[in-house]
Structure formats: C-alpha cells, structure tokens
Amino acid sequence: MSTSIPIHRRWRSRLGILPGFGLSLGITVTWLSVLVLIPLAALFIHASGLGLSGLWAKLSTPRVIHAFQVTFGVSLVAAVVNLVFGLLTAWVLVRYRFPGRRFFDAIVDLPFALPTAVAGISLTALFAPNGWIGGWLDPSGLVLGVRPTDQALWQWYDYLRFEVNYTQFGIGVALTFIGLPFVIRTVQPVLEEISKDTEEAAACLGANRWQIIFRVILPELLPAIITGFALAFARAIGEYGSVVFISGSKYLQTEIVPHLIIIKLEEYDYQGATALGAAMLVVSFIMLLTVNFLQRWAERRAGDRP
C-alpha cells in the first residue's frame, strides 16, 4: 500500500506556497471568456454558417480585397513611422533635460484619451485645403492666394498639389496619430534602464557615436521596439473612428475593413459583416503571433533584465 497524497495536496506542492491559484485562475478564465473568448467564438460560429465557399465568395470581391490591402498596408506604414519617430521621441524625453519636457511627456498619452472621432475631425479640418496644414500643402493657397483660372496653370497646380484628405496618405496620418504613444511608452522605460556605463564602456573601447547607437543601444532596445511596433500596428488595424472622417471612404480607394463592416451592417448584410470580421480576426491573430515570436527571440538575445 503506497501512501497516497490527496490530489489537491500534490497540486499545491507543485505550485509552491503562493495561495489562491485555483480562485485566481478561475476568475481569470471566466473574465477572459466573457469578454474575449465567447464573443469571438460567436463570431466564428456565425461566420461558419456561410460554409467555406460562401465565406470565400464574400471575401474575394475586389472591394473587400482592396479594403484589406489598404487596412493592413497603411497600418504597417503608420506603425513603421511611429517606430522611427517614437524611438526618436523616447530618446529625447529620456536623454535630454529641457524646459517643457514634462509637458511633452504628458502630451504623448493624449491619443490614448482623446475620442478618436475628435482626432479624426481635427485632422480632417487641419489638412483641408483651407486648413492650417492643408493650406501649406496646397501651392495655390500658398503662392497665388487664389485658385488659378488658366487651364495650363491648373495642370501645374494639380501636379504640385499634395492632398491629404480623402487619400490613403490621410488614413496614414490618422493611424500614425492614434499609434503615437505605443512605441514611446514601451521604449522609454527600457531606455532609462540602459546605464550610462554601457555607452561609456563602448566609447572607451573606441566606438564612435553611430557605432554606439547601432551596435549597443538599439540591439538592447529591440524587444521593446518590437513590442511597441506590434501594439501600434494592432491598434491601427482595428482603428475606425479617426479614419472615417479623413479617408472619406472612397470606393476602391480609401475604404478600410472596419468601415466596410459598418457599411455591410447598414446594408443588412450581416453575414458579409461577420465574414469580414472573422477574416480580420484570423489575419490579425497570425500577425500578432508572428510579432510575439519575434519579440521572444529578441528578448532571448537581449538576455533577462537584471
């Protein structure tokens, strides 16, 4: 007869002395189920009613494919822009002391808090041809003050004119705006942690400024950079409120998937909307998974933080 330890005891001994595992796991699973898993499952169940061929029929229209291209393409560009400028901003905020630093540091979080519709409307107004920034991008407003009447001049005007509103560039502007905080907020603490010693050590070994940045600092920041990039990218893919105003949702030009889903709903095409949602979910999930693996790899390379 072997002395049998009750199963819950064995569990406990395996898990160590920290109490409350059962309770906290239960709450976590319930919470995630109610908020995430059940809605997502419902989405899939609803979409599966279409069958694979039906799903494909809904998704393979030029309009949907184009919307997907725009959404993921522009989100990617916006995330890359945020990566570069977010890195730069984080650097400035961490490394330099200047008047107003705290103010700028606080401003970074604004895109988190601002209703996205407000952001979209403000951007649209700014980039309109008579707006503060749009006026500068429109040479007629800048140089001539009036729109040309001559036909030949019109051609030049069209050539020189750089429009933001109702273009994919405009979508990019909106997505860059709402993704701004992510890279900054993830890189900032890690950058603060890199000790001055490390840079000084590199300098004493003969490394110049560029070598220090590209061979010492950036590799150490890589995991944080990837995280920030992934967050900004994910946020951009799902963004709707700020984009609809500035994009104008032109057919086959500036339609994004989230807006297309709304359009489908307004047309009572619930199945189409579900199909789009499910497809969106799958693609996003795969992309985030990839980024996650990338991040793990980078973290392993960077080693555990002390």
Per CB under 8 A, residues contacting another protein are: 195, 197-198, 200-208, 211, 215-216, 219-220, 222, 301-304, 306
The span from the CA of 59 to the CA of 266, in Å, is: 18
Q: Supply the minimum distance, in Å, between the C-beta of residue 117 and another protein.
A: 42
Q: Supply the minimum distance, in Å, between the C-beta of residue 296 and another protein.
A: 14
CA-based angle 34:68:182, to the nearest 5?
60
The span from the CA of 64 to the CA of 59, in Å, is: 6
- Tokens 């503060």 map to which residue? 132
Comparing CB distances to another protein, the nearer of 43 and 207 is 207
CB distance 180 to 108 below 8 Å: yes
- Tokens 């002391």 map to which residue? 97
Comparing CB distances to another protein, the nearer of 137 and 213 is 213
Comparing CB distances to another protein, the nearer of 215 and 296 is 215
Q: Supply the minimum distance, in Å, between the C-beta of residue 265 and another protein.
A: 48
Comparing CB distances to another protein, the nearer of 73 and 219 is 219
Comparing CB distances to another protein, the nearer of 150 and 197 is 197
CA 24 to chain centre: 31
CB distance 236 to 78 below 8 Å: yes
Instruction: List Cα–Cα distances, 7 to 13, 24, 26, 132, in angstroms.
Output: 10, 19, 18, 70
Q: Supply the minimum distance, in Å, between the C-beta of residue 80 and another protein.
A: 22
Q: Supply the minimum distance, in Å, between the C-beta of residue 206 and another protein.
A: 5
Comparing CB distances to another protein, the nearer of 281 and 294 is 294
Q: Supply the minimum distance, in Å, between the C-beta of residue 233 and another protein.
A: 23
Q: Other CB atoms closer than 10 Å to residue 190's CB: what's the count? A: 20
